[in-house]
Amino acid sequence: MLRREIPIFLAMIVGWFMVGEFFFPWAEAGGTEVQQMAVIITAASVVLGVANVIRINLLKVSRREKDWQYAMLLLAGIALMGFLGTVLPVVHAAVHGGAWKLGGFGLAGITSGTLFDRLYNRVYVPLSATMYGLLAFYIASAAFRAFRVRTPEAALLAVAAIIVMIGRVPIGEKIWDGIPLLTDWIMNVPNLAAKRAILIGAALGGIATGLKILLGIERNFLGSD
Amino acid sequence: MKLFDPSRFPIFLIIAILGILTVWLIWRARRGQSLFIRKIAGLEAVEEAVGRATEMGKPILYVPGIDDANNIQTIYSMIILGHVAKMVARYETPLIVPICKAFVMPLAEETTRQAYLDAGHPDAYNPNNIRYLSNEQFAFAAATNGIILRERPAANLYMGSFFAESLLLAETGFQTGAIQIAGTANIHQLPFFVVACDYTLIGEEFFAATAYLSREERLVGTLKAIDYTKVIILVVLVVGTLLASFNINFLHEFLNLE
């Protein structure tokens, strides 16, 4: 029983305090304290995350599961970045006073110009940008499906989308100067009305979920009754 | 220092109305009065998706978004995960849960473990299927796409707060032929999910999931309270528009709207 009741009680106390902090300015300082506690707990949870990644991928390598080589590469990456970012600075501080360099790059630490920083900015950042860039092709393929006119609703969607697309580029105004105005009307009237309707519903859903948790009505995340 | 921040009065009013309606409707539901909930196709399809994956002998992928646990959508996603995991446990189908934020991982682990326990199949729970991938958005997207392409789940459920990675995930899932159900309150990602998924829970439908799946009177009462509050907001919007059109600013001033 205590395993469920204590977390619910704690969630209610902290939750209601934060709700109060939102409405009563005199409680703001206490709210900031609680938020700082949350930041510390969140930072500590990264250890759990890394432990999970290492455990799962070590298992994959030791069992020689399919594509175990990728798991090996991942573990090597974690080991290298962990070593450069955390172990090396400690060793460096203990045994070496001056600059510690290899091929012009600082070896210890995570600040600008260090090997850690270079690896992050020259390996991870371009890979991340590539993933983001791929989105354009995914949008094209998804749009192709979305604009297939099969029903009257799909036809309406396709017509509205074509008007908005043409109205957003300079050629739209050249074809007919009313297209940008029509585009603005579509975006600011029917589109915005629908968006706000969804937003009101979602906001109420969010508030209600918060209330359910704070009142102890929703406790399925701690197991069933 | 002010005792109460007057600029936040409208929100306070909505919470108060919602709270009172919730208590009243739960009381009504407990007295045995039936409260109607309209059919939500996306939620009906969850069981179908689980059944299909079981028949095909393939896993189910549940992505709880990429936001941290301070987002209400992530917390709600954990609640839905509990229901899905309970369903999955009965069929003993593998459930893979990729995690983007480290803080969410223990929540997902505990929720899933408890659900398997509640379903009476604690042995079917595999802790290796709750996988923390990366805190970075596109690293997470790449790793999840890798899971979709390598392990070929028969059903992909995207429930929670998503951003630019939504289409990357959903389109990859579409290409593998999996049945896909998405739910989010992030408006800008809804079109992507609508295009690439079989079913999409739009905004409030996402927050209706547990009431719909469990039909517990307390949860159904809360769901109806949201509907009634929406009616009140709609009336206030219409009346406020009419009053403002005639330059009568009583409501505007009462609600302290800037």
Who wins on pLDDT, B138 or A150?
A: B138
Question: Do A105 and A114 form a contact (C-beta atoms < 8 A)?
Answer: yes
Question: Cα–Cα–Cα angle for B137, B143, B145, nearest 5°?
Answer: 100
Contact B203 A201 (CB under 8 A): yes
Farthest CA pair distance, chain B: 68
Tokens at B102, concatenated: 């480290």
The CA–CA distances, whole Å, from A209 to A205, B107, B237 equal: 6, 17, 24
**A223 in reach of chain B (CB within 8 A):** yes
Q: How far apart are CA A113 and CA A124, in angstroms?
A: 16
How close A107 gets to chain B, by Cα (Å)?
A: 24
pLDDT attached to residue A101: 67
Verify whether the Cβ–Cβ distance B192 to A215 is below 8 Å.
no
Q: Are the Cβ atoms of B168 and A138 closer than 8 angstroms? A: yes
pLDDT at B253: 83
Percent with pLDDT over 70 in chain B: 99
Residue A224: per-residue pLDDT: 56
Are the C-beta atoms of residues A160 and A140 closer than 8 Å to each other?
no
| Residues of chain A positioned with their CB less than 8 A from the CB of B19 | 211
pLDDT at B7: 86
Q: What is the pLDDT of residue A95?
A: 74
Interface of A with B in 8-67 (CB under 8 A): 19, 22-26, 38, 41-42, 45-50, 52-53, 55-56, 59, 66-67
Please give the DSSP secondary-structure letter assigned to residue B158: E
CA distance A125 to B138: 10
Whether pTM exceeds 0.80: yes
Question: First-to-last CA distance in chain B?
Answer: 21
Q: A80 — contact with chain B (CB < 8 Å)?
A: no
Among the partner-chain residues A141, A205, A223, the one whose CB lies closest to the CB of B204 is A205
What is the reported pLDDT for A66? 87
ipTM (interface pTM): 0.89
Q: Which residues from B are below 8 Å from A204, CB to CB? A: 14, 18, 204, 226, 229-230, 233
pLDDT of residue B98: 98
What are the pLDDT digits (tens) for B200-221?
Answer: 999 999 999 989 988 888 889 9
Are A141 and B133 a contacting pair at CB < 8 A?
no
Q: Which two tokens stand for residue A12?
A: 């209610």
Which among B131, B187, B192 has CB closest to A199? B187
pLDDT digits (tens, 9 = 90+) for B78-126: 999 999 999 999 988 999 999 999 999 999 999 999 999 999 999 999 9
Instruction: Name which of A22, A213, A215 is nearest B75 (Cβ-Cβ).
Output: A213
- Model confidence at B194, in pLDDT bands (50, 70, 90)? very high
d(CA B153, CA B199) in angstroms, rounded, equals 17
What local confidence, expressed as pLDDT, does residue B149 receive? 96
How many cross-chain Cβ pairs, A to B, lie less than 8 Å apart? Answer: 185
Domains of chain B with CATH codes: 41-214 (3.40.50)
Q: A65: distance to nearest CA of chain B, Å? A: 12
Pick out chain A residues at pLDDT < 70. Answer: 1-2, 96-109, 220-225
Number of helices (H) and strands (E) in chain A: give both, helices first.
10, 2
